[in-house]
Amino acid sequence: MARWNKFPHDNAAFAYKGGKLLDAWPQLHGGDRVEFPDADWVAQTLEQAPDAAPESFDGDAQALAENIQEAWRCYHRGDFQKAVELSDKCGLLAHAAANKATGIYATYLETDETVAQACFLAAVERAEAAMEILPDDPNSYYFHAFNLGRYSQSISIVKALSQGMGGKIQASLETAIKLQPLHADANIALGAYYAEVIDKVGKMLGKMTYGASPGKSVKHFERALELDPGAPIAHIECGNGLYLLFGDDKLDEWTELYAKAVEIEPVDAMAKLDIEAALAELE
């Protein structure tokens, strides 16, 4: 694997050494609802899905849990490549850390579009494996949809829809929400999906072919803001969705949502990247 670009900001506040990771976990994962990977979680998950373990697993659930936790520390401080490398050594138990790190890196830090697309597709492949081995994990489906959605944006939404990617994204997001109704990030993504569809194919075709409507989109954005109001991305994506759906009629709301996003104190590297992106749009 070629060297990935480094996180370009000060990450001292995002280290979460030792027990600080557990203390901050509810805030760090209020959007995706990933469970804290302690030894009990590892043991319980492997009891139901033994194939999720790495080939090297020797039965030491505590050691495996600590490795997954370290992968998440790497993710939160912006060492995305190391997060993926550590996650892949932990088997599909760490699919969420690997796929979130890959998707955020490719979205914000990879400047080569071909490399970014390869990252998204690698994450999609990993997510598909997780969907098979861990079918009850909502994040198997969410990170499948997230990375496939980002890949779709990179090749054009119209092209992606013509290739049937839209249905796959929608199905994965609906499954994630069904499995975990409090999944704010899946609600954000589904609201954004509906908004993108309507923007590209229109309200009538969007509703007839994809079941999309402005009302559904706004409902999911409002739900996401309710579930995770401290996440910059919830405000940013809601603003983007409103602008796609209603154009300049919602410019004031877009500006207000972006302004709220940049006022939030970032809790990790992703939040910092979200905020910096919002600041750039407001300039």
> Nearest 5 degrees, angle CA 228-CA 229-CA 231?
75
Residue labelled with tokens 């805030």: 27
pLDDT at site 158: 83
Per-residue tokens: 271 = 């939040």
Lowest mean pLDDT among 66-75, 147-156, 264-273: 147-156
Mind listing the pLDDT tens digit for each residue in 222-260?
A: 999 999 999 999 999 999 999 999 999 999 999 999 999
Mind listing the pLDDT tens digit for each residue in 121-140?
A: 999 999 999 999 999 999 99
Supply the pTM of this predicted model: 0.95
What Å distances lie between residue 268 and 14, 91, 120, CA to CA?
Answer: 5, 24, 21
pLDDT at site 1: 66
pLDDT of 172 above 90: yes
pLDDT of 80 above 70: yes
Spell out the alpha helix ranges (H) of the chain. Answer: 20-28, 39-48, 61-77, 80-88, 95-108, 113-133, 138-155, 157-162, 165-179, 184-201, 203-210, 214-227, 232-246, 251-263, 269-282
Q: Domains (ranges, CATH) in the chain? A: 198-283 (1.25.40)
